[in-house]
Copies of this chain bind each other. A is one copy, B any other.
């Protein structure tokens, strides 16, 4: 990614941010508006990039509901800012799980 490559040695966190951008655009560019995800593009992204999360979803209309939740301005498309809300929601849920796991295994030692 151009501007990240001007960064001397991107940190893990900078690479993670870059990944969110490049993954979003990998799918957003497939059809129609290349800066937003259509329903079809969102579905493909979730099934490919969030496979384990999707497998945990028993509701066949999960993508439909998530699309509706994310599409804040109701234009039938999901832009990057709306997409990042999904990533945040999943990360916050995972972090809760991570904390429980660390507490159970006494993982929270001083660095």
Which residues of A approach B to under 8 Å, CB–CB?
1-4, 6-8, 11-26, 29-30, 34-35, 48-52, 80-81, 84-85, 87-88, 90-92, 94-95, 97-99, 101-102, 108-111
Contact = CB atoms under 8 A, between A and B. Distances in A.
- Copies held by the complex: 2
B51 A17 contact: no
A1 to B, nearest CB: 7
A14 B109 contact: no
A7 to B, nearest CB: 4
Contacts of A14: 49-50, 52
A2 B34 CA distance: 36
A24 B84 contact: no
